[in-house]
Structure 1
Amino acid sequence: MTTDLTRSQRLKAATATIHDTLDQRIMALDPFSSPARYVCFLRAQQAFHDALAPLYAAPTMQALIPDLAERDRSAAIAADIADLTLPLPAVPDARPVEPVDMSTSLGWLYVAEGSSLGAAFLLKAAQRIGLSTDHGARHLAGHPEGRAAHWRRFTARIDDATMTAEDEDRMIAAARDAFTRFRTLVDAAFA
């Protein structure tokens, strides 16, 4: 029964299909087969994380998630792109995601933060094409305290936030929008 699940577990369950579909799409594009393909993946990451910059900088969100600013991987992605010195594919301008309310912001951040949890697998693939957390794959590095602990601290904030059922519905819708936005950026980058 879903009421026995935590809010973050309900969010995961509600977005599992769209998340799995995105993962399958990314892997089908084979972004780790060459540096040229990897830079397409990086470009989509850059556009997505740049769009989320207002959320990472929002004082209301930083009050809810005290380590939010340090979680922003935009600078690491920019450094990774600079390391590769390859032409960047065009992607649609990603309009900024404004912090309109806490639950919507949490939905978008859930997708960005969840990607760092799954990045351990991606880092291994990046290493096969000569990249590392010091060159080209900084944004895939785990947190010093460990990926799982870092993720649990984030999901605990979701679970502890004061929300109505409508707020939770908005959070789920926002997470689905985030997965859709990233899919659009990935498709454009690899076109």
Structure 2
Amino acid sequence: MTASMDTDTRSTRLKGLTTGTHDRLDRSIMAGDPFADVENYAKFLKVQYLFHRDIGTLYDVPELAALLPDLEGRRRFDKVVLDLSDVGADAPEADGAPRFVKGATVDLPTALGWLYVAEGSNLGAAFLLKFAAKLGLDATKGARHLAPADEGRGLHWRTFTAALDAIDLTAEEEARVTAGAGAAFTRVHGLVRRFFDGV
């Protein structure tokens, strides 16, 4: 299936199918008050650390790089590591192997769903960066992973979704993209509960 010129694209369908889950996750994160102080913000960084650790190997998959523009440049794990160091926090204890293990065969549709969630979180990070500024953090210290791309968040996102929408997939593969996105949201929600005491 190829992208159409109307609003019925893969990215818009994914948004519609995951809006409820996304909204619940956003409410859970903010209920944890991650910007109340640096200690709480460090908990938020630990959520980000384990999520981006889960997907870290996807940015090295040639088949994905051929489908998605500047895939390597979209990786944020290293920035999260630096942010943790900036606020004097240790990396969290791992809760098992990363979701995508280096050297293992990757199901591309599933991976696309996870990357959709990762890219969408960057699009929505603008207001989080403003909250981080109240803690004395910015795109050069402590909130590097929340910084916009050089070309701006909007264009960075549109470039990604245009590529995502143009990929030919079967109906069964489409379902795996959606399932991958759902699994990614579920993973982050579980991490939020872990670090923010069950919110």
TM-score, normalised by the number of residues in structure 1: 0.94
Contact 1:61–1:102 under 8 Å retained in 2: yes
Correspondence 1:26-175 to 2 at 5 A:
26-87=29-90, 90=93, 92-93=95-96, 95-97=98-100, 100-175=106-181
Relative to structure 1, the CA distance from residue 34 to residue 93 in structure 2 (aligned partners, 3 Å threshold; closer, same or farther) is farther
Contact 2:69–2:159 under 8 Å retained in 1: no
In structure 1, distance between residues paired with 2:111 and 2:94: 23
Please report how far the alpha carbon of residue 101 of structure 1 lies from its aligned counterpart in structure 2 after TM superposition: 2.1
2:47 alignment partner AA: A
Q: Provide the identity percentage.
A: 48
2:40 alignment partner, SS class: helix
Please report how far the alpha carbon of residue 97 of structure 1 lies from its aligned counterpart in structure 2 after TM superposition: 2.1
Please report how far the alpha carbon of residue 27 of structure 1 lies from its aligned counterpart in structure 2 after TM superposition: 0.5
Contact 2:84–2:90 under 8 Å retained in 1: no
TM-score, normalised by the number of residues in structure 2: 0.90
Relative to structure 1, the CA distance from residue 190 to residue 91 in structure 2 (aligned partners, 3 Å threshold; closer, same or farther) is farther
Please report how far the alpha carbon of residue 96 of structure 1 lies from its aligned counterpart in structure 2 after TM superposition: 2.7
In structure 2, distance between residues paired with 1:111 and 1:25: 16
**Structure 2 unpaired stretches of 5+:** 1-5
Please report how far the alpha carbon of residue 4 of structure 1 lies from its aligned counterpart in structure 2 after TM superposition: 5.1
In structure 1, distance between residues paired with 2:92 and 2:33: 16
Residue in structure 2 matched with residue 9 of structure 1 by the alignment: 12
Contact 1:62–1:68 under 8 Å retained in 2: yes
Residue in structure 2 matched with residue 185 of structure 1 by the alignment: 191
1:22 alignment partner, SS class: helix
Bigger Cα displacement from structure 2, 170-179 vs 88-97 = 88-97
2:46 alignment partner, SS class: helix
Q: How many aligned residue pairs are there? A: 189
Please report how far the alpha carbon of residue 100 of structure 1 lies from its aligned counterpart in structure 2 after TM superposition: 2.5
In structure 1, distance between residues paired with 2:79 and 2:42: 14
**Structure 1 unpaired stretches of 5+:** none
In structure 2, distance between residues paired with 1:43 and 1:94: 16
Relative to structure 1, the CA distance from residue 87 to residue 68 in structure 2 (aligned partners, 3 Å threshold; closer, same or farther) is closer
Bigger Cα displacement from structure 2, 113-122 vs 90-99 = 90-99
Contact 2:83–2:142 under 8 Å retained in 1: yes
Higher helix residue share:
1
Bigger Cα displacement from structure 2, 94-103 vs 133-142 = 94-103
Deviations 1:68-101 (A, max 9, x none): 0110001110000010113555462353325622
In structure 2, distance between residues paired with 1:94 and 1:179: 18
Contact 1:90–1:188 under 8 Å retained in 2: no
1:32 alignment partner, SS class: coil
